[in-house]
Amino acid sequence: MSQDTYLSKLESAHDIEVFGEALYTSIARLTRDPRWREVWVTLAKLETQTKERLADRLRPEKAVREKPYRRWMGRVLGFAAAVAPRSWLLRVMVSETADYIKLFEELRAVAPPEDAALVDYIVAHEEAQAVFAREALAGASATFLAPVEALLER
């Protein structure tokens, strides 16, 4: 894979995080339950942290710009998700994170050695969201954010 193609894939990952940050922020704004509002805020923080790490990696070689339509799409879908049944949203998260894990594992296979830690973190961040969604569906509310919070401490 060429360096340009690799950087384009990192840029796409950044776009995904812009979308996720807007999605979770919108859900948090419309969630009435304070506990669940804090859950969505925490997930938005993870997306922000990941987005910033990707931007830091891309900046030396590319101008990093958030695409307004990605943020807009995240906001719109976040509003819709906020009024949908929570169990549906969590099932969608399990499915979507599985797709992103696969995508980022493919990126890991072609990442240069100096990006190994970043790409490992990106995979771990998707895995943490998947664990959260599965545990939330199972009713394990005492521990479901632990993997996400662990990444926020890194």
CATH assignment at residue 80: 1.20.1260
**Per-residue pLDDT at 85:** 95
18 vs 50: CA distance, rounded Å: 9
36 vs 34: CA distance, rounded Å: 6
**Per-residue pLDDT at 83:** 94
- Residue 31, amino acid: T
Q: Is the pLDDT of residue 142 over 90?
A: no
Q: Is the pLDDT of residue 88 over 80?
A: yes
pLDDT tens-digit map of 37-55: 999 999 999 999 999 999 9
For residue 43, the enclosing domain spans: 3-152
More confident residue, 141 or 19: 19
pLDDT tens-digit map of 4-32: 788 999 999 999 999 999 999 999 999 99
End-to-end CA distance of the chain: 29
Q: How many domains does the chain have?
A: 1
Supply 57's token pair.
């990696």
Q: What is the pTM of this model?
A: 0.93
Residue closest to 51 by CA, chosen among 83, 88, 25: 25
Q: Are 61 and 6 contacting, i.e. CB atoms less than 8 angstroms apart?
A: no
Residue closest to 40 by CA, chosen among 30, 50, 49: 30
**Per-residue pLDDT at 64:** 84
Alpha helices in the chain (DSSP H): 3-30, 34-58, 68-83, 86-110, 116-138, 146-152
Mean pLDDT of 59-84: 91
**Per-residue pLDDT at 102:** 95
82 vs 71: CA distance, rounded Å: 16
pLDDT tens-digit map of 100-130: 999 999 999 889 999 999 999 999 999 999 9
